[in-house]
Structure 1
């Protein structure tokens, strides 16, 4: 199985040294865990993500261990550090993330989350931290066939369930949409000729075609207003929202986010 094969759903990976599982104390606090030796209480910040979205979040073997990495993870680490908390990352299906957030099983969602009107009603959304274009991915033999958006009309299109790409596909005339929980599953559908095209976030698409022979990005460009990506926080938790926005403002002023994007993109494209 190649490294972009189907990932286990519900995998939980910890970033840093974690001292056990915690639950949310209330709407305005992160989970806490006690130190058995000192009795001290350490805050734990639990991040929900769907780790098949390179270079945002993806699996990579680091020092012999399967690890979730990416520039969203780098941002989450900075948020946790500014709060004096330990970061735990939960890998979940994309379409379950907001339910996990609303139920309090995760404190924040960082996973290429577009600030749609529907999401604004359901959760708190941070300031925008990154914007990127969308891409049409096809089999290499079909690159010229689907070189324009007119040519994409009426095709079988693969998208991630609950994503902005799914909304884009709904606007394409005659589209026959296949919605799946993982981008890796969409890619497999494309490779096996079950779909004709796939709409994938630009940097993510570039990473997949770099690592998988036989797939390319066409010249077709979906016409869509890019609202960028935000971090999801449980509705009413304005305390955490303010802390997240403060960290994002700092990272932007320091130029760190662009650095994280470049480093994560290079890591995603590497074969080691």
Structure 2
């Protein structure tokens, strides 16, 4: 046998061994990937809890209420979140924060999902994934009661000081549909209503159920008949990108609740809780 043939045989054996090693590694890796890597949904179920991020200053979606001497975060968003947790077989943990920080905390895994009357517009959809729409509401305008005769249509708001929740869809709506507005964006709707009550701003753009909620509890405020167009429309649940399993589970809960007419029931219950304050 020549030296050249021996070298060929040795090289062939080496390549065969390398192929076997890589095949084994590949199978092992596939096994680890298939059986060892857990999804976010798996981790939630293993932990026994799911963490909700919300901004509880947006009644009837989410708000604070004292029950039996203890402060609680309630609202129809919270009722939906409780149903999601129940269907997953885990407990619900609520983390309160300003609206503008919700998606940042979601993306950094400080919360598992967000329910906060959030509209799934194109910009937000670049950062996170959204569930199916669970509720549709029109956007309205709250003014000081003394200005009832002053603001009858959107054109009357030209150049006025308009309050909006920072980071919310109403900020874009006000900029696009009101001529030359002076926008004041604050983190909490409650602070906007305080500014409105004290005459520091002229009006606040919010969803109509929220407008009605604040007007009920403040005689100085008035919800107008002015309605703003919203092509994106509706509220949805936000989850981190590529959390398909969790998103699918949330959509199943939403579908069930809509079929059972539970969401409208939750809206009514939330409004009744506000009436009883």
- TM bracket, shorter-chain basis: 0.7 to 0.9
Q: Name the count of aligned residue pairs.
A: 239
Note the residue ranges of structure 2 that are not aligned, 5 or more in a row.
1-37
Q: Does 1:167 align with 2:169?
A: no
| Cα offsets for 1:147-167 (capped at 9, x unmatched) | 111101211000001111101
Cross-structure match for 2:64: 59
1:92 to 88, 97, 122: 97
Q: Which residue of 2 aligns with 1:186?
A: 192
Equivalent positions of 1:199-210 (< 5 A) are 199-210=205-216
- Asked whether the 8 Å contact 2:121–2:232 carries over to 1, the reply is no
The answer to whether the 8 A contact 2:163-2:185 is kept is yes
2:19 corresponds to which residue? Answer: none
Which of 241, 249, 253 is matched with 1:247 structurally? 253
CA–CA distance in 2 between the matches of 1:263 and 1:27? Answer: 32
For 1:151 and 1:224, the matched residues in 2 are separated by 19
- How far apart are residue 42 of structure 1 and its match? 4.5
List, as ranges, runs of 4+ consecutive aligned residues in structure 1 with deviation greater than 2 Å: 25-32, 223-226
Whole-angstrom distance in 1 between the partners of 2:129 and 2:185: 25
* CA drift at 1:225: 2.7
Higher Rg of the two aligned structures: 2
* Residue 116 of structure 2 is aligned to residue 74 of structure 1: no
Q: Is the 8 A contact 2:137 2:233 kept in 1?
A: no
* SS at 2:115 equivalent: strand
Matches of 1:239 and 1:89, distance apart in 2: 21
**Shift of the alpha carbon at 1:101?**
0.3
Secondary structure of 2:79's counterpart equals helix
Specify the alignment match of 1:130 in structure 2: 135
| TM-score normalised by the chain length of structure 1 | 0.85
1:38 aligned residue: none
The SS at the match of 1:138 is strand
CA distance in 1, matches of 2:47, 2:243: 20
- Of Structure 1 and Structure 2, the greater strand share is in 1
| Distance in 2 of aligned mates of 1:160 and 1:31 | 31
Unaligned runs of 5+ in 1: 1-24, 33-40
Q: Tell whether 2:269 aligns with 1:263.
A: yes
Q: Does structure 2 conserve the Cα–Cα contact (< 8 Å) formed by 1:30 and 1:44?
A: no
- 2:231 aligned with 1:231: no
Matched position secondary structure for 2:171: helix
- Give the superposition deviation at 1:99: 0.4
Equivalent of residue 201 in structure 2, options 191, 195, 207: 195
Contact 1:115 1:228 (C-alpha < 8 Å) held by counterparts: yes
Would you say 1:112 and 2:114 are equivalent positions?
Answer: no
Higher share in helix: 2
Distance 1:30 1:206, change over 3 A: farther
Q: Could you state the TM-score of these two structures normalised by the residue count of structure 2? A: 0.83
